[in-house]
Structure 1
Amino acid sequence: MSRYDKYEALIFDLDGTLLDSMPAHFAAWQQTATDFGFEVDESWYHSRGGSPTILTAQTLVKELGLAIEPQTLADHKTQSFKHLMEAHLEQLPFVEVAKRYAGKKPMAVGTGTLTDIAARMLEKSGLLHLFDHVVGADQVSAHKPAPDTFLHCAQLMNVSPEKCLVFEDAIFGIDAAAAAGMDVIDVRVTDVGLD
């Protein structure tokens, strides 16, 4: 019996949990920074893991004192990412959990990426068919570490939050799962454990 069997539904983060797309996100921020005449540091970027693009843009404008609308930065980064992402869609180990339970348990993706981009990433990597729902940053008003993304996933799957298990790779997401009253697996420090 797998440790996942006791849960009624599974929720997966996308970037860094199912797909190794973080290099493409960072490259898109680097391109945006170059185009607008500032710099982003990789360690700073990784500290923002799980944060939606618009929140990262707002933080950059504030921290660097940029005279740019955050939405302008966010839109530029999103367009850059669309061009870069297909070269950075390597599947990560916890995809095997999704494959094992597809069609057996309700499953959703809860991500800080916009829904249409997340769905495209999943489709390009051959994973979209595994999931019943994809909940992106545009579907909730409060983003991770707020619980809204995961609570919306649970609502769509018609499963109570305490019966859901979340797979995450970022502190914002781990905090969001805890705030939602869900158990969470930190994929950075846990083995897949399907045997």
Structure 2
Amino acid sequence: MTMPASLPADIEAIIFDCDGTLADTFGAHFRAFRDILADYQVAFDAEFYHARLGLSRYQLLEDLKQTQGKPFDEQAVAERNTAAFLKHLSAIRPIPYTHDILRSQYGRLKLAVASGGQRPIVEATLKAIGVRDMLDCLVTIEDTGVGKPAPDLYLLAAEQIKVDPRFVLAYEDSDEGMEAAERAGMRVIDIRPFYRTDPARW
């Protein structure tokens, strides 16, 4: 789906995914994993990570273990991830395509984020790109316990901003996210034709 010339007239709210949709967090996440895994003498390169962006944290680490054949504690790596990520906030960049949409609709429509990420990371990310205070609500995995492609994150966000899902437009960068928004009864726009991160930078 491509970006419409203008928003549908009946849209009352926009709900954005965070990572890869509002913010390019590839560099921060990559550096965090790289730093932690170095303690286990496990190599972690940008191309490997980029090819597996749709995986959960634990799926990614399991795949890495299978690929390299080196033992490490996935649980320990996951538990250290938030603190490591927060050391690399300077690597986060706003994604121009969605950043411009959010700013243009601030004060006009209800604006929210529905992310499958951990709240401390999502909060820090949104503050890093200067949009946290522009949102009417933020829903993360801690609020539902269920990630995408289940519709729970989007449904809860719509409930909190008091807008019927039929009148919500969602922006996503993954197949799982698009499915989640569609299952919630929302219209959704795939931003991938308009923005892709460049792993070569890292």
Give the TM-score normalised by the residue count of structure 1.
0.83
Instruction: Tell me how far 1:82 sits from its aligned partner.
Output: 0.5
**Which residue number corresponds to residue 42 of structure 2?**
38
Q: How does 1:113-124 map to 2 (within 5 A)?
A: 113-124=117-128
Deviations 1:87-114 (A, max 9, x none): 3233422111111111211110111222
Name the CA distance, whole Å, in 2 between partners of 1:32 and 1:116.
18
Structure 2: 5+ residue runs without aligned partners? 196-202
Equivalent residues of 2:27, 2:91 under 8 A apart:
no
Query: Over aligned residue pairs, what C-alpha RMSD do you find?
Result: 2.4
Q: How does 1:17-166 map to 2 (within 5 A)?
A: 17-40=21-44, 42-49=46-53, 55-61=56-62, 64=65, 66=71, 68-70=73-75, 72-166=76-170
| Distance change (3 Å), C-alpha of 1:182 and 1:136 | same
Equivalent residues of 2:92, 2:129 under 8 A apart:
no
Name the CA distance, whole Å, in 1 between partners of 2:51 and 2:151.
19
Structure 1: 5+ residue runs without aligned partners? none
| Distance change (3 Å), C-alpha of 1:44 and 1:87 | closer
Name the SS for the 1:139 alignment partner: helix
Give the TM-score normalised by the residue count of structure 2.
0.80
Name the CA distance, whole Å, in 2 between partners of 1:76 and 1:150.
28
Please say which of residues 134-143 and 37-46 is displaced more in the overlay: 37-46
Instruction: Tell me how far 1:86 sits from its aligned partner.
Output: 2.3
Aligned length: 187
Amino acid in the other structure paired with 1:21: T
